[in-house]
Structure 1
Amino acid sequence: MNKFWGVDADPTAQGRIKGAKPVAVLDIGSNSVRLVVYERHARALTPLYNEKSACALGRGVGQTGRLADANVAQALNAIKRFALVCRMMRVGKVFVLATSAVRDAANREEFVGAVESVMGSKVQVLTGEQEAHYAALGAVAGILGFSGFVGDLGGGSLELSRITNGADTDGCSFELGVIRLQDDSGGSAERAAAMVRERLAGTSLKDLAKGASFAAIGGTWRSLAKIHQVMTKYPLHMVQHYVVPAEDMIAFCNEIVAAGSLKSYPGSAHASSSRRELVPFGAAVMAEVLKAGQFRDVVFSALGVREGYLYGMLDAREQSIDPLIQGAEELSVLRSRSPAHAGDLIGFTSQFLEASGIAESDEQGRLRLVACLLSDIGWRAHPDYRGAQSVDSIAYGSLSGIDHPARTFLAQTIAIRYDGLKSKTAAALVDLGTPAQTERARLLGALFRVAYPMTAAMPGILPRIRFELDGGTIKLVLPADLTFLNGEHLQNRFDSLAGVAGFKSAEIVVA
């Protein structure tokens, strides 16, 4: 009898991209060991499986110079499970990366040999400079056009890099990881802050970074961002591209450090048990880095070394692909009734804007294209919940290359497409965007509501329909053989569109 992980039949579901070969990164860090399996190695990375084990390999390395036996045993046990996961998921290639704790340990070779035996893959022990480089690439991959500094905070070290024109320079590593700081400071976040301040004092950070943005990477900083979102009642609990003014984040971090407790501080109840005692040390590092560099703001990145490593392996052509558009195209293929209809919708909306004289910037055009690709992803849900479920898929999905206001725009657009202009789901997201973005979402959503009753989400109809502007009247021109599409339902939706667009009236005519 075959074991469940040895069956010959392909276990891949129809909801997966056809022909895609999963790729995995096993990240052996100072605080946790994490396996992430991605659906395929592409510009837009979609996590297929993500699991971590808090092994705290870095605990005590600064004092003893060795990985503790108990922590090694825990890590190897987790890695055995991760090896099984890779076999079951038929991963094509596994990249094993080890960072600060392993590179600094005297018994690293013994540990690395054990990991390679389990995984059947070579372990790459990253230098501090390499770790800084791949963390920087992770930020570049997920935050389009980012310029400033990137900081990757792990359990054993802090890596800093400067990003200019999509390339990183000045990469360096500091022994300021949260576990190392907890050990070296005797468990005092205030003493840890003083240590960070002292070690950064001799750097040129202030001269290089003043007024720039700081991209924050690392699990402890992600926890800090989540706590900040809860405490400030931020409506979108999405860490990727979460932006906070530096002075606000410094004040928040100072409150956590000043609390003098590793278990009870502002927002501690919202931290995971594995991160709770580390967050004050992450706050100490964050506050001191932001002050030392006199940064303008901090933007949190959920993409880091793992994603940066895979991004760095792509050729220049693949790196230049827009990850938001690629990710939306994938969702359209996997979840819409007809991906070809999205192409028709792109042309249909473009012709409306041209005919009605409504200007469109390059970024507005990019987001319109993405909205068209995502416009039919909720069709399987109950009609009463299609808007809400689509919003969740967009607002909390793994799309990258998009900031929070743009996520809000897309989510509002699709909510209106399903629920109408009075959508409560769309209204709940208004505060994250600008009034102009909300009006644009209402316009595009209303336009979608005109298109779908005519097409049933199938291609071939929209290219035969056009818009014309006659004074203050917008006209929808149908070919003679589609006259029967003209009815009260379509007219009502067209009237709504005209109202949003600012036209005096709307008329459906036959060519």
Structure 2
Amino acid sequence: MSRGKAGGRFGIVDLGSNSVRLVVYAGVERNPVLVFNEKVMAGLGRSLASTGRLDPKGIERALDALRRFMALREQIGVPNLVVAATAAVRDAEDGADFLERAESICGFKIMLLSGLDEARISAQGVLSGIPTAEGLVGDLGGGSLELVPVANGKPGEGATLPLGPLRLMDLSHGSLAEAESFVERAFGEQKWLKNYEGKPIYAVGGVWRNLARIHMAQRNYPIHVLHQYVIPARDAADISRVIEKLGPKSLAQIPDVSERRVEALPFGALVLDKLISASRAKEIVISAYGLREGLLFERLDKKEQQKDPLIEGCRDLAGRLARFPQHGNEFFKWTAPLFADDVLGETAEESRLRHAACILADIGWYVHPDYRAHHAMTQILLAPFSGIDHQGRLYLARVGYHRHEGRGEPEMLGNRSAYIPERDNERALILGLALRLAFTLSGATMGMLPKTRFDIGKNSLTLVVPKKYEALVGEIVAKRLAALAKALGRKSDIRIGK
């Protein structure tokens, strides 16, 4: 058990340059489960560049939000709460005065993060959600842009630049042309960015997430999940240039643009466009994880940090929805012979996804039988998992469908199947059929399945069942074994052992 689970709910208040946000998690654990999330667009840093001070209206909005968040803390029950302030508060002449007022509301010390601390923690948050990330993390807040290289599961030495949209709007008096020269000059001083040519940029921040939504809409992309959504660098640059040219009225008419981001969007798009040019990045990978998840991750013990976020997320979902959450481990071992090197074979990543699929195999059991397959698929497609890209998510969704429905093509997938290789489609079918057989054979109970096994020949698939369980082998079991064998290109057989 992690320290967070023992300590109860964990909350973070992020006092940013543009927004003030409260997030509450179920506990400090490897798979952060969000309990509550509220944001106020206070605009603390709106006039910082021109006056050197926090925006007066922004101060009052932020303090009002903080009062509500402290009341919510009591209402929800959040024993562990961290309040962190970032670029606007640390750079403002009156930042210390604001902190004093804010701390009188909180009743405890607020963390004032340095630029380098903010960059490091944000990068750690990205790594907590995308452990294999290798490239450049860019976290665009209202007042600053944090840039940090990541590789081998660790953040490197980064930089913080005064390129947040609110600051740029203030510096340039709302002129994109003036802002462009400022951004180019800032990136021109960061010669090290060229070291990341051909690498991804892992993009964090609400403005950049809105650009991703626009790209999704343009492509009619079927999975509306932003985490690990990938935009080719050329597409991202093209969209950014179009956004830069649109006025507020035109931007407000785009359905996928948040009304609160309209003003800042062209400036955020400008920063992304110039960052792509400076770094010669290959693609933009959207990360839903950033500073807040980094703060949470740093509070995990070492053992918890090393856990796989996808597997932990699947276990959490199965723990809420499945009859026997522990079934996943039985299924994983039982299906292993089908994926042995001399049968289908599998990479380490494919084995990991098979494990995840086995854990999720029973999450749709309580739904009406006519809807189980599509319900399981939808749950998996939209679940707040991390540590998985969209191709992997589609694979798991297909397994969930075939586990309930057998063969056939799910109508709701539409053209989603085109987003994963045919190899993955075939393997999803085989694993789904194997799980369908497993539930039928065991009566969806624990303990019986490990006493059976597969014998797999070049042209045959034999299910070996102990004499003790012979009566469980009926027509439906034989039928589902035959379907699995056919998918493997083999003949089915059942042998009763001792």
- Measured against the shorter chain, the TM-score band is over 0.9
Q: CA deviation at 1:426?
A: 4.7
Query: Which stretch shifts more, 345-354 or 47-56?
Result: 345-354
Look up the SS of the partner of 2:131 in the other structure: coil
Counterparts of 1:126-137 in structure 2, within 5 Å, are: 126-137=113-124
Aligned 8 A contact 1:324 1:400 in 2:
yes
Partner of 2:394: 408
Partner of 1:313: 299
Distance 1:366 1:114, change over 3 A: same
| Of 416, 421, 438, the match for 1:434 | 421
The residue type equivalent to 1:502 in the other structure is G
In 2, Cα distance between equivalents of 1:204 and 1:72: 36
Shift of the alpha carbon at 1:193? 2.9
| In structure 1, C-alpha distance between the alignment counterparts of 2:253 and 2:487, rounded to whole Å | 42
Note the C-alpha offset of 1:312. Answer: 2.3
Alignment of 1:142-181 (within 5 A): 142-181=129-168
Give, in angstroms, the shift of residue 264 of structure 1: 1.0
Cα 1:173–1:83, aligned 2, differ >3 Å: closer, same or farther? same
Aligned-partner residue type, residue 314 of structure 1: L
Selected match of 1:484 from 471, 477, 480 = 471
Distance 1:373 1:92 in 2: 31
What's the offset of the Cα at 1:381?
2.0
Answering whether residue 93 of structure 2 is matched by residue 106 of structure 1, we say yes
Whether the aligned pair in 2 keeps the contact of 1:231 and 1:267 (CA below 8 Å) is no
1:471–1:432 Cα change, 3 Å: closer
Structure 2 vs 1, CA of residues 444 and 56 (structure 1 numbering), >3 Å: closer, same or farther?
same
User: In the superposition, relative to structure 1, how do residues 443 and 62 fare at CA in structure 2: closer, same or farther (>3 Å)?
Assistant: same
Matched, 1:75 2:62: yes
Q: Which moved more, 1:377-386 or 1:150-159?
A: 377-386
Q: CA deviation at 1:168?
A: 2.1
Structure 1, 267-276 or 90-99: larger mean CA deviation: 267-276
Partner in structure 2 of residue 353 of structure 1:
339
2:285 maps to a residue whose letter is: V
Using the TM superposition, give the Cα deviation of residue 368 of structure 1 relative to its aligned residue in structure 2, in angstroms: 0.7
Aligned counterparts of 1:354 and 1:270: Cα–Cα separation in 2: 45
Structure 1 Cα separation of the partners of residues 153 and 328 of structure 2: 31
Secondary structure of the equivalent of 2:22?
strand
Partner of 1:32: 19
**Are residue 396 (structure 1) and residue 365 (structure 2) matched?**
no
How far 1:257 moved relative to its partner?
1.1
State TM-score, norm by structure 1: 0.92
SS in 2 for 1:280: helix
Find 2:214's aligned residue among 202, 227, 245. 227
Q: Could you tell me which amino acid in structure 2 is paired with residue 78 of structure 1?
A: A
Residues 190, 258 of structure 1: 8 Å contact kept: no
User: 1:380 is matched with which residue: 361, 366, 373?
Assistant: 366
Number of paired residues? Answer: 493
Letter aligned with residue 191 of structure 2: S
Counterpart in the other structure of 1:94: 81
1:400 positional shift: 0.9
Of 428, 449, 457 in structure 2, the residue corresponding to residue 462 of structure 1 is 449
Q: What 5-or-longer segments of structure 1 have no aligned partner?
A: 1-16
Deviations 1:372-399 (A, max 9, x none): 1111112222222222332232222221
On the 8 A contact 1:356/1:468 being kept in 2, the answer is no
| CA drift at 1:507 | 1.7
Report the counterpart of residue 289 of structure 1 in structure 2: 275
8 Å contact kept, 1:464–1:479 = yes
Instruction: Indicate conservation of the 8 Å contact 1:474/1:506, yes or no.
Output: yes
Q: Give the conservation status (yes or no) of the 8 Å contact 1:103–1:126.
A: yes
The C-alpha deviation readout for 1:444-479, integer Å capped at 9, x for no partner, is: 111111111122321011111111124512111222
Aligned position for 1:5: none
Aligned counterpart for 1:185 among listed residues 154, 168, 172: 172
Corresponding residue for 1:237?
Answer: 224
Q: Look up the equivalent residue of 2:137 and give its one-letter code.
A: V
Specify whether residues 356 and 338 from structure 1 end up closer, same or farther in structure 2 by C-alpha distance, changes over 3 A only.
farther
Q: Matched residues in 1 for 2:94 and 2:193: separation?
A: 37
Q: Report the residue type matching 1:297 in the other structure.
A: E
Q: Is the 8 A contact 2:215 2:231 kept in 1?
A: no
Amino acid at match of 2:375: Q
Which range moved further: 402-411 or 468-477? 468-477
Using the TM superposition, give the Cα deviation of residue 266 of structure 1 relative to its aligned residue in structure 2, in angstroms.
9.8
Contact 1:253–1:284 (Cα < 8 Å) also in 2: yes
Q: 2:245 aligns with which of 249, 252, 258?
A: 258
Structure 1 residues 137 and 36 mapped into 2: Cα distance closer, same or farther (>3 Å)?
same
Distance 2:121 2:216 in 1: 27
Task: Encode CA deviations 1:406-457: one digit per residue, 9 max, x unaligned.
Answer: 1111111101112222132455531221111111111111111111112232
- 1:91-112: per-residue Cα shift (whole Å, max 9, x none)? 1211111111111122222221
Following the alignment from structure 1 to structure 2, what is the Cα–Cα distance between the partners of residues 452 and 373? 13
Confirm or deny that 1:298 pairs with 2:284: yes
Letter in 2 for 1:21: G
Q: Does 1:494 align with 2:455?
A: no
Letter in 2 for 1:506: S
For residues 221 and 108 of structure 2, the distance between their equivalents in structure 1, rounded to whole angstroms, comes to 42
Deviations 1:210-244 (A, max 9, x none): 12211111111111111211122111111111112
Separation in 2, partners of 1:185, 1:372: 54
Structure 2 CA distance, aligned partners of 1:41 and 1:263? 42
Q: Distance in 1 between matches of 2:59 and 2:67?
A: 12
Shift of 1:154: 0.5
* Equivalent residue in structure 1 for 2:354, among 356, 362, 368: 368
| Aligned partner letter, 2:186 | R
How far off is 1:20 after superposition?
A: 6.5
Deviation at 1:66, TM superposition (A): 1.6
Q: Is the 2:126–2:294 contact (alpha carbons within 8 Å) kept by the matching residues of 1? A: yes
Measured after TM superposition, the shift of residue 486 of structure 1 is: 2.3
Cα deviation, residue 301, structure 1: 0.6
CA distance in structure 2 between the aligned counterparts of 1:232 and 1:344, rounded to whole angstroms: 40
2:401 partner amino acid? A
What per-residue deviation string (whole Å, max 9, x for no partner) do you get for residues 70-110 of structure 1?
Answer: 22111111112211222222212111111111111222222
In the alignment, the residues of structure 2 paired with residue 38 and residue 183 of structure 1 have an alpha-carbon distance, to the nearest angstrom, of 35
SS of the equivalent of 2:221 reads: coil
CA distance in 2, matches of 1:182, 1:83: 31
Q: Offset of 1:352 from its aligned partner?
A: 3.7
Distance in structure 2 (CA, Å) of the matches to 1:411 and 1:121: 45
Report whether the alignment pairs 1:446 with 2:404.
no
2:211 and 2:239 in contact (8 A); partners too: no
> In the aligned structure 1, how far is the partner of 2:373 from the partner of 2:175?
48
Shift of 1:142: 0.9
Q: What's the offset of the Cα at 1:253?
A: 0.9
Name the residue aligned to 1:57. 44
Q: Which amino acid aligns with 1:32?
A: S
